[in-house]
């Protein structure tokens, strides 16, 4: 009897130890609320990952005794593995804490035992978060912390791990940076991209369980002032990572590296998310009291998708369908409660087979009390552009002047019944995503308030729209920078566009064709470029305010060279050629950046003005180093400045003395190699017409040099050399044998005479 009781106690203790196995955890906050007495109510949600059972209560506490009360609510299990296996689970608990008045920052900590067995032998763990309680000058509210989470168990075969993207969404739009916690070392052969919060492999990763403790910190993107309850203020500089972060929280998780498997082919063995699945980092919207649904679809043609791991809120329901061979669908259903209002809820999910799991994708669900107006919008997708049309009657009281696309420089236009916006697939903040079976182009219409507005009487508008194209169709024009039709929409100018082209000569009529990009050029030769504006308005004028060169397609690259700045020519070789009011043609001598760079991209900022407006930026012209002379932009007289980009220019090896315009060196590198073998005349291999360059090389000299440099010529010379060697060897052998015969005959004759 005593032995039986001892066994029961032992099993109970083992069960307790089993349940507290720690796989990691995360913390996210609701926006803190200030009470009438100056204290703060801070509500937060903690998630814990573990094995088998995940309903243990958390034990967070306040540091420095700044909290007057602490209230913990129920902890509920939100997801778990098949009970027969019991490999992973996750729970979420909600807590509120009252922070005393006069407090500037509050820090919350929790600790426990025990980490799952890992390569470092770590056991105890500590979770911590700290947030600033100052009122921001930009939003007039308390700072909100980044939202993040992970699924319970992350596991990858040794040969299949390359990148793990972490969710790092900041509701205030701050810059989030990630770093390893001070108390942990960086796992071997793993690197952390601090800007994107992605973990990458940096060599062969050994098998075993690795513990990750990543600290996420947010820094303002614009200078701001924090005001505290006692009236004091603190200034924070934009993106100054050396200053105190506005919020700091720790994300803890494990990565289990398993032995290698024969294949990691995505979509065949490793599950691939298809187009119905939300994008990583996408913002979704839910309303208190209404059921929200999220759907994901994964494909693994040569494996069986057994389950989806989910990190989500309490009371989320998971349904999995696998009716289609090689595919499985996940549907998450959740009805937010009143306590979830104003909450940014992180949701992560991953499809898994017996041996491998898909990438982890995470989204954020923003919960509101009042329904966010969605409206009735239709989207017309065509090659290179998309048109969105919104019915005014579906959103009463809408004001087009307070709507924008993802790029704030792009607004919309309207008539009496509809609001419209037209944009090319690479402008106005349109994002591109490879969804496995589709390419998706996505944008969003949102409402905004003026910077100094204290009250509002307008509804919040969020209308997402997208165009998707099957991969079997050709949508290359949306990716290639040479497809230079840029389309924008602004409320007072309607839809307008720009064409940015590279031309073959100074006539500016024969443009470089899309299949000739990247454009092969040589140093010092002339490059001919032209910009043309197209507008629905009858009388407009184009103004090029800036043109700069960069070694890549990032116009914000710190390595750049000004060709035009403030409307003034900066490069001594740049010459503006004959242009109309809606076109701008120029030539410039080719150059490259010093160092290991062989490409150049040209980015220009362009503005469209009413032709007869004396107050527009177009009328002001060149304003060298004198911003004070610029008049305030008149919304009905000119557009915003928009970036347009062209390139790349690909630099090829410079021939001695060879200098000329672009037409004398047409085509890309592959085309030049083709000419070397194919451009032959009827005379049995001589090159066709060759232009004389301005460097003074003669046609015969250039032909002879081309002849010497061609692959065919090399082969001919090599063959001739081998034939000559063979003939020489035969002749040597012949004369040797002849000499031997003569010597033998001479000896015979001598013997006879003797």
pLDDT at 249 over 90: yes
Is 558's pLDDT higher than 70?
A: yes
Question: Are residue 592 and residue 524 in the same domain, yes or no?
Answer: yes
Residues 416 and 398 in one domain: yes
Strands 247-258 and 154-157: parallel
Whether residues 436 and 508 share a domain: the answer is no
pLDDT of residue 207: 92
The reply to whether 753 falls in a domain is: no
**Mean pLDDT, the chain, integer:** 78
Q: Is 50 exceeded by the pLDDT of residue 696?
A: no
Select from 442, 457, 475 the last residue of a domain. 475
Residue 514 shares a structural domain with residue 433:
no
State whether 627 and 500 are in the same domain. Answer: yes
491 and 457 in a common domain: no
Residues 436 and 495 in one domain: no
CA distance 718 to 704: 17
Question: Which residues lie below 8 Å from residue 607, measured CB to CB, with a gap of 6+?
Answer: 542, 543, 545, 617, 618, 638, 639, 640, 641, 642
Q: Which helix (H) or strand (E) holds 136?
A: strand 135-136
Q: What is the pLDDT of residue 238?
A: 85
Q: Which of 475, 508, 537 represents a domain boundary (last residue)?
A: 475
Residue 58 — very low, low, confident or very high, per pLDDT cuts 50/70/90? low
Which residue, 598, 633, 665, sits at the end of a domain? 665
460 lies in the same domain as 565: no
Can you give the CATH number for the domain in which 447 is found?
Answer: 2.60.40.3210
pLDDT tens profile 567-591: 999 999 999 998 888 999 999 999 9
Highest-confidence segment of 16-25, 322-331, 595-604: 322-331
Orientation angle between helical segments 711-753 and 669-678, nearest 10 degrees:
40
Residue 603 lies in a domain: yes
* Tokens at 226, concatenated: 């924090």
Residue 455 and residue 525 in one domain:
no
3-state secondary structure of 729: helix
Rounded average pLDDT over 95-108: 92
pLDDT at 317: 95
**Please, are residues 335 and 293 in contact by the beta-carbon 8 Å criterion?**
no
Residue 462 shares a structural domain with residue 399 = yes
For residue range 419-457, what is the model confidence (pLDDT) as tens digits?
Answer: 888 887 778 888 877 776 677 888 888 876 554 444 344
At 699 the pLDDT is: 35
* Residue 304 domain flag: no
136-166 residues labelled b (16+ CB within 10 A) or e (exposed): bbeeeebbbbbbbbbbbbbbbbbbbbeebbb
pLDDT tens across 624-646, in order?
A: 765 555 554 555 578 888 888 88
Domain assignment present for 144: no
**Is 628 strand, coil or helix?**
helix
Cis before 630? omega within 30: no
450 and 490 within one domain: no
Q: How many folded domains does the chain comprise?
A: 2
Closest CA to 247 of 261, 236, 262, 231: 236
User: Which of 98-107, 467-476, 647-656 is the least confident region?
Assistant: 467-476
Residue 584 sits in a domain whose CATH number is 2.60.40.4100
Banded model confidence at residue 230, pLDDT cuts 50, 70, 90: confident
Range of 394's domain?
A: 377-475
Residue 539 lies in a domain: yes
**How confident is the model at residue 692, as a pLDDT?**
28
Q: Which of 149-153, 325-329, 518-522, 746-750 has the lowest mean pLDDT?
A: 746-750
Q: What is the pTM of this model?
A: 0.59
Q: Are residues 628 and 535 part of one domain?
A: yes
Rounded-to-integer distance, Cα 117 and Cα 22, Å: 9
Percent with pLDDT over 70 in the chain: 75
């Amino acid at each position: 009897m005593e032995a039986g009781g001892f066994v029961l106690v032992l099993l109970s203790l083992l069960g307790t130890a089993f349940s507290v196995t720690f796989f990691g955890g995360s913390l996210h906050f609701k926006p803190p609320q200030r009470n009438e007495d100056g204290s703060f109510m801070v509500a937060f949600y903690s998630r814990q990952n573990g094995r088998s059972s995940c309903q243990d209560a958390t034990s967070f506490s306040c540091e420095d005794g700044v909290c007057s009360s602490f209230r913990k609510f129920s902890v509920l299990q939100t997801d778990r593995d098949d009970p027969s296996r019991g490999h992973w689970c996750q729970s979420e608990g909600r807590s509120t804490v009252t922070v005393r008045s006069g407090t500037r920052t509050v820090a919350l900590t929790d600790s426990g035992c025990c980490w799952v067995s890992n390569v470092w032998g770590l056991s105890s763990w500590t979770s911590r978060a700290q947030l600033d309680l100052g009122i921001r000058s930009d939003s007039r509210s308390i700072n909100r912390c980044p939202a993040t989470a992970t699924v319970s168990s992350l596991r990858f075969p040794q040969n299949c791990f390359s990148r793990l993207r972490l969710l790092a969404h900041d509701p205030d739009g701050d810059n989030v940076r990630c770093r390893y916690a001070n108390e942990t070392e960086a796992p071997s052969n793993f690197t952390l991209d601090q800007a994107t919060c992605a973990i990458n492999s940096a060599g062969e990763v050994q098998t075993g369980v690795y513990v990750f403790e990543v600290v996420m910190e947010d820094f303002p993107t614009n200078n701001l002032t924090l005001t505290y309850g006692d009236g004091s203020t603190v200034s924070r500089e934009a993106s100054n990572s050396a200053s105190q972060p506005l919020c700091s929280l720790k994300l803890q998780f494990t990565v289990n590296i398993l032995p290698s498997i024969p294949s990691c082919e995505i979509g065949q063995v490793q599950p691939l998310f298809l187009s119905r699945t939300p994008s990583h980092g996408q913002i979704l919207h839910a309303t208190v009291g209404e059921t929200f649904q999220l759907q994901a679809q994964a494909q693994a043609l040569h494996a069986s998708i057994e389950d989806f791991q989910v990190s989500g809120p309490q009371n989320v329901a998971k349904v999995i369908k696998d009716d289609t061979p090689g595919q499985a669908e996940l549907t998450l259903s959740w009805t937010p409660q009143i306590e979830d209002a104003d909450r940014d809820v992180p949701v992560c999910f991953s499809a898994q087979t017996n041996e491998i799991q898909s990438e982890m994708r995470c989204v954020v669900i923003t919960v509101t009390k009042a329904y966010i107006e969605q409206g009735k919008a239709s989207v017309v997708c065509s090659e290179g552009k998309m048109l969105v049309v919104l019915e005014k009657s579906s959103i009463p009281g809408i004001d087009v002047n307070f709507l924008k696309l993802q790029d704030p420089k792009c607004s919309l236009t309207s008539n009496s019944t509809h609001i419209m916006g037209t944009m090319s697939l690479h402008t106005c903040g349109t994002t591109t995503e490879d969804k496995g079976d589709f390419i998706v182009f996505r944008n969003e219409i949102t409402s905004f308030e003026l910077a100094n507005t204290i009250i509002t009487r307008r509804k919040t508008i969020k209308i997402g729209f997208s165009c998707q194209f099957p991969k079997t169709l050709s949508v290359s024009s949306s990716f290639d920078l040479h497809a230079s039709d840029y389309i924008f929409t602004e409320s007072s100018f309607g839809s307008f566009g720009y064409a940015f082209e590279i031309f073959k000569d100074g006539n500016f009529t024969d443009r470089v064709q899309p299949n000739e990009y990247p454009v092969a050029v040589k140093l010092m030769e002339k490059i001919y470029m032209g910009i043309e504006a197209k507008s629905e308005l009858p009388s407009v004028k184009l103004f090029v305010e800036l043109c700069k060169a960069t070694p890549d397609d990032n116009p914000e690259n710190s390595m750049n060279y000004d060709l035009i700045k403030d409307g003034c020519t900066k490069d001594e070789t740049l010459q503006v050629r004959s242009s109309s009011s809606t076109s701008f043609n120029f030539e410039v001598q080719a150059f490259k950046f010093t160092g290991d760079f062989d490409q150049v991209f040209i980015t220009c900022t362009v503005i469209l003005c009413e032709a007869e407006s004396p107050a527009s930026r177009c009328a002001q012209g060149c304003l060298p180093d004198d911003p004070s002379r610029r008049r305030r932009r008149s919304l009905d007289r000119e557009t915003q400045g928009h970036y347009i980009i062209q390139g790349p220019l690909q630099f090829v090896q410079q021939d001695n003395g060879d200098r000329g315009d672009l037409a004398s060196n047409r085509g890309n590198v592959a085309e030049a190699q083709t000419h070397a073998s194919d451009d032959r005349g009827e005379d049995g291999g001589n090159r066709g017409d060759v232009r004389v360059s301005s460097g003074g090389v003669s046609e015969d000299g250039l032909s002879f040099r081309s002849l010497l440099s061609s692959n065919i010529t090399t082969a001919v010379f090599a063959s001739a050399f081998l034939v000559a060697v063979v003939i020489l060897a035969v002749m040597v052998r012949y004369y040797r044998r002849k000499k031997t015969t003569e010597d033998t005959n001479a000896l015979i004759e001598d013997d006879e005479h003797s």
